[in-house]
Amino acid sequence: MVQFALFLVRLFKAPIQWLGVDFPQFEILIGTKLTIDFRSSPTGFQISGSKKSTFLYQLLTFSLFGLLFGIAAFSIGDLILSLTIFFTVIMVSLTMTIISEFTSVLFDQRDNYILLPRPISSRTLLLLRLVHIQFYIGFIALALSLATGIIVAVKYKGIIILIYFIAVGLSTWMTLIFTTFIYLMISKVVNGERFKDLITYAQIAIAVIIFGSYQIVPRLIDTAVLKNVTMSVHWWTYYFPPAWLAALVKLSLFTPVTTPFLLLSFLAVFVPITGAVFLIRSMSKGFGNILADGSSETVTPQNGRTLNTRLTSRINKYLCISEIEKAGWNLAVATTSRDRKFKQSVYPFFGIMIVFGVIILKPDLTNLAVSLQENGELSKYLFIVICGFSGSTAILQLPYTDTPEAAWIYKALPLKENGHLLTGAVKAILFRFIIPIYLLITIPSILLWGFTVFPQIILSCLGNILLVLIAIIFQKMELPFTQVREMHQKGTNSLRAILNMILMSFLVGFVYITSSLSGWITILICGLVAGLIVLIFRFIRKSWISPKGWVTLRNIEERL
Amino acid sequence: MENSQITIRNLKKSYGKGDNKNEVLKDINLVIQPGQIIGYIGPNGAGKSTTVKILCGIIPDFEGEVTIFGKDLKTESMEIKKHIGYVPETGALYDLLTPNEYLSFIGTLYGLEKDKLESRAGNLLSFFGMEKHSDQRMDTFSKGMKQKILIMAGIINNPDIIFLDEPLSGLDANTVILVKDLLIQLAKDGKTIFYCSHLMDVVEKISDRIILINNGIVVADGTFEELKTEKAGTLEMLFAQLTGRKDNEINTENLFNGSHKN
């Protein structure tokens, strides 16, 4: 696979050199990076061995989603319109994946001491990072577009399938360079630590805007009208990249085309190329400076103890059953409040949650209270359940760190109760990311929908906790901060989030059913769920102690 | 001054702003001639590693003027980097590669031709007694073995100036002797060695010139013979005297059982 990637890279030797990139350096860098990725653990391309491939599962699941999108998009009669919608889905999905999972790869500073003392230009380094990411998101895009590709090939035949996949490649590249461009523009305004902080918040903002428009805009359009509508070229079409790509694919049908369609197709090819040229030739110096910022071990002092972390650190004596569990709690609070990569992976989901809230409740700003009160029962419970979504995403990030070597401490200490560390950390994250959200929505919900909704809020909160604990058991979660964030696992978070949401839909149904029962019965169910949660915590703690427990310190031993 | 290989004028480096400003280097001025072994020492946090990272082009943002081989580091760092070598303090290498692969990777980044690269990598691996491990993945290596690879990678381009940040960390006694002899020989061949270490006896023995920094400024600069005094007959004593270590009596009972006062 590395050789195939290098073969593709060599095809672009001349344009790469024209960009001012040292090709022999670039070739060895990308080859080495991919070799390291493939050696780090079995990936989707090395299915042999007992370990199951997460990457292959990811691709299969993305293919399934692609199939659903494809069927939906091609139920529309007009090819241009269906392709425009389809490419919008592809580009939005990729932007979300890049923002939440590949930003840390783009600005990875872990190999600064290897690369920066060597005579490598910032142009070479920037192109290296872009192509490295392109390799992974290219596969995701391919999986997403495969089903639609088959529909297109069967329906239209001919050269269109080739042009279609070229357009998919261009959409991936365009998304990547556009996101990088935004980041580099931000870096021109602020630098150093502030840039890193800003990136985290920009990620949330971009994720909310893109996801919000992606979810809300289609709801404004009447789907019955869509089936018979034909897309015509307006002024805004020239600013809408998915329309360019759709026009390019349409061009391959050799049907009579108008000048605007030719112009749109031209933009589809011209913009990714000139964008890359502009980015590499004019903005790479700023990229080099961002990387160099990470080479200083001396950083400005920061107050790590905010009100939130102080409060969380004090409450543990009431919620933890042992000193070891408290230690796990404190470790999780301290690390997650300071680790930027954790924030980058988790915080965008808080923004997405707000968007979900808007989509579900459809608030009418002219008459907010009445519009919210008049919401259907299902929307109401869907909103209440979905509030815990971002919290569960945070817990699934617990095992990952940039410094897995520090896990030696678990092995060196005379410690039998490793499970307590995990449950302590899980409790801390629940307390930081799920409980506050439910506290926040309780009063407005009671004011809007009456006190009868209170048992359902409690049940939703407990249900979310139960779901995440079940996920921990099925996933056989490792101890906190012991697993390296590996390249081939990128994309998993978005996928897990989607799977979590499917599980949540069952919870919504359950909460909805309980709403027709007496409040006391719901409270009784809450008691049972709470009891189940206590038992599961106990099970997790015991499983770690037992020699036949599901998890061992195997991964840590391998690393040490 | 005319033949100087490294010239540093008013070098300053700080992080943060306002109340959070941390001045790591306050005003460093140095002129370094070719063929010297410079022992660059100082307490933890004095600014040694920051100086080296600036000189290697890892930290491009600094105040002051630095010229290496007569070229301005701020504007011609790419040209300078071709002729310098760097051995970092941390185990910064891609340890999923084999030594052969890693040295080949680093050599290619310096533009070495394949034949020359292979023979040079083979010679270095043999010199450090690592040839039988040349095709093993480095993630199974000990700290000392990885350190040897870092030294090899730092000199594979046959640089004119070699920056070493704690190069003897984790090495066994025989390899320490080997590296010391190698550095002395490289200096005799006209190469400049810029050497940061906390091992005072090694610095004292091999350095032509010792530069001691504390709190971001140079507090002593000269040969060991020039710097030593009646009260400070060894570099370790001189270091303690100039960096203000107090010879407190150590009471371990207090250390573990005493109460802490802020």
B59-79 tens-digit pLDDT: 988 999 999 999 999 999 999
Between CA B34 and CA B6 the distance in angstroms is 8
Asked if residue B254 belongs to a domain, the reply is no
Cβ distance of B109 and A118 shorter than 8 Å = yes
Cβ-contact A66, A145 below 8 angstroms: yes
* B209 belongs to a structural domain: yes
**Of B158, B190, B214, which closes a domain?**
B158
- Determine if residue A166 is left, alpha or beta; phi over 0 gives left, psi from -120 to 50 gives alpha, anything else beta: alpha
Domain co-membership, B185 together with B56 = yes
- Please report residues of B whose CB lies closer than 8 A to that of A32: 94, 97, 101, 105
- The pLDDT of residue A535 is 94
Q: Which two tokens stand for residue A102?
A: 């590949």
Q: How far is B44 from chain A (nearest CA, A)?
A: 11
Out of B138, B158, B178, a domain closes at B158
Contacts of A543 (CB under 8 A, 6+ apart): A419, A549, A550, A551
The pLDDT assigned to A9 comes to 93
| C-alpha span between A279 and A275 (Å, rounded) | 6
Q: What is the pLDDT of residue A72?
A: 78
Please tell me which residue of chain B has the smallest CA distance to A288: B60
Under 8 Å CB-to-CB from B91, ≥6 apart: which residues?
B143, B146, B147, B150
What residues pair up with B85 in beta bridges, in sequence order?
B162
B151 and B241, same domain (yes or no)? no
Q: Are strands B37-41 and B192-196 parallel, antiparallel or unpaired?
A: parallel
If asked whether residues B77 and B175 sit together in one domain, one would say: yes
CATH code, domain carrying B216: 3.40.50.300
Q: How far is A16 from A9, CA to CA, in rounded Å?
A: 9
- b/e code B140-158 from CB counts within 10 Å (16+ = b): ebeeebbbbbbbbbbbbbe
Q: Assess whether B147 and B54 both reside in one domain.
A: no
Gap between the Cα atoms of A482 and A542, Å rounded: 20
Helices A192-220 and A160-189, axial angle in degrees (round to 10)? 140
Residue B199 binned pLDDT confidence (cut-offs 50, 70, 90): confident
Query: What SS3 state is found at B251?
Result: coil
User: pLDDT-based confidence at B241, cuts 50/70/90?
Assistant: confident
CA distance A35 to chain B (A): 8
What count of Cα atoms within 13 Å lies in the side-chain half-sphere of residue A29? Answer: 27
Q: Residue A559 corresponds to which tokens in the numbers above? A: 């690393």
CB pairs under 8 A between A and B: 94
Contact A78, A245 (CB under 8 A): no
User: Do both B79 and B163 map to the same domain?
Assistant: yes
DSSP string, A50-100: SSPPHHHHHHHHHHHHHHHHHHHHTTSS-HHHHHHHHHHHHHHHHHHHIII
Contact (CB<8Å) B92/A114: yes
Q: How far apart are CA A541 and CA A417, in angstroms?
A: 7
Q: Which residue carries 């801390």 as its tokens?
A: A428
Give residue A201's identity as a one-letter amino acid code.
Answer: Y
- Comparing alpha-carbon positions, the chain B residue that sits nearest to A289 is B60
Q: Note which residues in 120-159 of chain B have CB less than 8 A from chain A.
A: 137
What distance in Å separates the CA atoms of residue A240 and residue A231, rounded to the nearest whole number?
A: 13
Closest C-alpha among A389, A387, A304, A391 to residue A340: A304
Q: Containing domain of residue B19, as a range?
A: 1-83+159-247
Report the 10 Å Cβ neighbour count for B201: 11
Q: Are residues B222 and B203 in the same domain?
A: yes
Shared-domain flag, residues B11 and B122:
no
Q: For residue B137, what pLDDT is reported? A: 94
Residue B228, pLDDT above cutoff 70: yes
Total domains in chain B come to 2
Rounded-to-integer distance, Cα B213 and Cα B232, Å = 17
> In the β-sheet with B217-222, what is the strand arrangement from edge to edge?
B84-87, B161-165, B192-196, B37-41, B209-214, B217-222
Nearest CA in chain B to A29: B105
Which conformational region is residue A316 in: left (phi greater than 0), alpha (psi within -120 to 50 degrees), or beta?
A: alpha
Mean pLDDT, chain B, whole residue set: 89
Look at residue B153 and give its three-state secondary structure. helix
pLDDT of residue B261: 63
The rounded Cα A75 to chain-centroid distance in angstroms is 28
| Set of chain A residues whose Cβ sits within 8 Å of the Cβ of B79 | 119
Q: What does the block give as tokens for A33?
A: 């990076």
Which amino acid makes up residue A125?
Answer: L
Q: Does B112 touch chain A (CB under 8 A)?
A: no
- How confident is the model at residue B192, as a pLDDT? 95
Parallel/antiparallel/unpaired status of strands B63-68 and B6-15: antiparallel
Q: Give the model's pLDDT for residue A79.
A: 80
| B46 to chain A: closest CA residue | A298
* Bridge partners of residue B165, in order along the sequence: B196
Q: Contacts of residue A292 in chain B, CB cutoff 8 Å?
A: 58-61
B56, part of any domain? yes
Whether residues B15 and A298 touch (CB distance < 8 A) is answered with yes
Q: Both B48 and B166 in a single domain?
A: yes
Partners of B31 in the β-ladder? B7
CA distance A31 to A33: 6
Whether B252 maps to a domain, the answer reads no
Three-state secondary structure call for residue A546 = coil
pLDDT of amino acid B185: 94
For testing the chain A interface, which of B19, B25, B58 should be mutated: the one with the most A CBs within 10 Å? B58
Name the residue type at position B195. Y
- What pLDDT is stored for residue A190 in this prediction? 75
Residues B224 and B153 both lie in one domain: no
| B109: closest CA of chain A, how far (Å) | 5
Determine whether the interchain pair A121/B78 forms a contact, defined as Cβ–Cβ distance below 8 Å: yes
Q: List Cα–Cα distances, A172 to A130, A178, A492, in angstroms.
A: 11, 10, 18
What was the ipTM of the complex prediction?
A: 0.89
Residue B238 lies in a domain: yes
Determine, yes or no, domain membership for B165. Answer: yes
Q: In this complex, which of B21, B60, B81 lies closest to A119 when CB atoms are compared?
A: B81
Q: Which residues of B touch A301 (CB under 8 A)?
A: 16, 20, 22
Q: Is A306 or B182 the better-scoring residue by pLDDT?
A: B182
Query: Which of B114, B143, B158 corresponds to the end of one domain?
Result: B158
Q: Which parts of chain A sit beneath pLDDT 50?
A: 42-52, 298-301, 488, 546-556, 558-560
**pLDDT (0 to 100) of residue A530:** 95
Q: At what angle do helices A23-40 and B99-109 cross, to 10 degrees?
A: 150
- Tell me the C-alpha distance between A349 and A351, whole Å: 5
Are B18 and B111 in the same domain?
no
Q: Which residue has the tokens 């998915």?
A: A242
Q: Do A117 and B16 touch (CB under 8 A)?
A: no
Specify whether B150 is located in the same domain as B163. no
Give which of A108, A51, A47, A102 is closest to A558, Cα–Cα: A51
- What span, in angstroms and rounded, lies between the C-alpha atoms of B138 and A100? 31
Judge whether B257 lies within some domain: no
Residues B44 and B139 in one domain: no
The reply to whether B259 falls in a domain is no
Decide: residue A358, CB within 10 A, 0-12 exposed, 13-18 middle, 19+ buried.
Answer: middle
pLDDT digits (tens, 9 = 90+) for A435-448: 888 888 888 888 88
Side-chain half-sphere of A379: how many Cα atoms within 13 Å?
A: 15
CB-CB contact of A390 with A207 (8 Å): no
Residues B88-128 pLDDT 10s: 977 789 989 999 999 999 999 999 999 999 999 999 999 99
Angstroms from B226 CA to nearest CA on chain A: 33
B61 — contact with chain A (CB < 8 Å)? yes
